[in-house]
Structure 1
Amino acid sequence: MRYQDLQFEQRESTLIDAARQLFAEQHWDRVTIAEVAIAAGIGKGTVYKHFPSKEALYARLVLDLSRKQLQELRVLQAASPAQEALRRVIRRAFELMLADPIQAQLCLHCDRPEFQARLESPYRQQFLELEQHYQQFFADLLSATLNNQTLSQADCQQLLWGVEACFNGVMARIASGGFAHWAEPIALNDYFTRVTDFIIAGLRTQAAELLAQPNSHE
């Protein structure tokens, strides 16, 4: 790698680390590019060579961590018995969300249509590619759960809609701070268990119905 390229990557890494630190100290929506530049010890103009907008910075943070988490979940799947992989992956995904509520907030923010509309084209393409990777991962998990019975791509997509709704609900709950403000607080560990049970039961029931339909494998 050329020295200039290495220097560019190191600067970018410094900026990302500085942004994460600032986001931990104050709400990420109030942090400015100028503040990130100061915290990183890099000129504001140089920051824009790496991230042309705050949206691009948010997108990079979400994309990087989402890819890292997907890799961890893939390793977990490979190391788990086929019938336990789905449950373990779901619970681990919830734990990863809980470990980084700021990331959960950013993920929800980056998924908004108006955010994606403002985002630069290369980042939008990366989100689409990441979504495809998660869809394939889900299809592999589902196939193992169904004893290697394979649903059509369209059927998998329909099941994924329900799973996504559940995951977004959990993400929103974590991003909002949990249930501490409720009259009868719910322990998040119990909440994760019940939602996991709900997802798995729904997937198995819906998948069985789809498999029973003609042409469900096409």
Structure 2
Amino acid sequence: MGLQERKLREFSRREHEILAASIRLFDADDWQSVTVEEIADLAEVGKGTVYKHFSSKEDIYARLTLDFYEALLEELARVDLNRPADAVFKQSIEVALWYHYKNPAYRRVTQYCKRGDFKKRISAELLQQFRDCDEEFKGKALEMLKVCVETGVIPNGPYQQMLYGITTTFEGAVNILWNGECLGDGLVVEDYIHAISAFIMSGLKGSGFEQGNP
């Protein structure tokens, strides 16, 4: 291994340690009061080292969120596509819900990064990365919707309206999972996730959307 490669690996390792320390500190109600010094201390690096990797805390927020959704895309890529379209769609919803449920430490920072005022403050490069990420998720959902329509699983209709319904239901379910509300009445998480995916699919199959061109 050459000197340059070793330096790159060391740089990557330190960045990973900074991000790991950050998400641990951000998993608390007072997460926005966490300082760069505290992140550096937990990561066992100097404050200057943090700034070599990230220009601000908001850059750290953005990187954590983008990494979170990139990992989710990798999970979705493992869904078996060699099955009926509605089964693929339903499993994809469940995979995404389970992924969120198993990573509650990200709930504050990912919600924060969805805010319009946050996106106004980040660099053009980061903003484009968020847009690209959004488009990739939207593209996957649209592709599954189109296959479901083409195979007659769900009726034809305006795809954008379908996406609104899916997104709203999914985001609400994620908030409930992350807040632990679904456990209050004795409902287990697995049953809740199955119920949400079934609800979304039944809504699409019995779509009340006006028929016509998407």
TM (normalized to structure 2)?
0.83
Q: Residue 90 of structure 1: CA displacement?
A: 0.7
Q: 1:172 to 1:83 in 2, by over 3 A?
A: closer
Structure 1's unaligned 5+ residue stretches are: none
Q: Which of the two has greater helix per residue?
A: 1
* Structure 2 counterpart of 1:64, one-letter code: D
Matched, 1:165 2:137: no
Residues 74-100 of structure 1, C-alpha deviation per residue, up to 9 Å, x if partnerless?
221435443310111111111111101
Could you tell me which residue of structure 2 aligns to residue 144 of structure 1? 147
Could you tell me which residue of structure 2 aligns to residue 63 of structure 1? 66
Alignment of 1:38-187 (within 5 A): 38-78=41-81, 80-148=83-151, 155-180=158-183, 182=184, 184-187=185-188
Structure 2's unaligned 5+ residue stretches are: none
Could you tell me which residue of structure 2 aligns to residue 205 of structure 1? 206
Could you tell me which residue of structure 1 aligns to residue 196 of structure 2? 195
Count of residue correspondences: 208
Is contact 1:108-1:172 (8 Å) kept?
Answer: no
RMSD over aligned Cα, in angstroms? 2.7
Bigger mean CA deviation after superposition, 68-77 or 93-102: 68-77
Q: Residue 37 of structure 1: CA displacement?
A: 0.7
1:190 and 1:56 map into 2 onto residues whose CA distance is 37
2:201 and 2:188 map into 1 onto residues whose CA distance is 20
1:77 and 1:134 map into 2 onto residues whose CA distance is 17
Identity, % of aligned positions: 29
**SS, match of residue 8 in structure 2:** helix
TM (normalized to structure 1)?
0.82
Give the 4+ runs in structure 1 shifted more than 6 A.
none
* Structure 2 counterpart of 1:134, one-letter code: F
2:30 and 2:83 map into 1 onto residues whose CA distance is 38
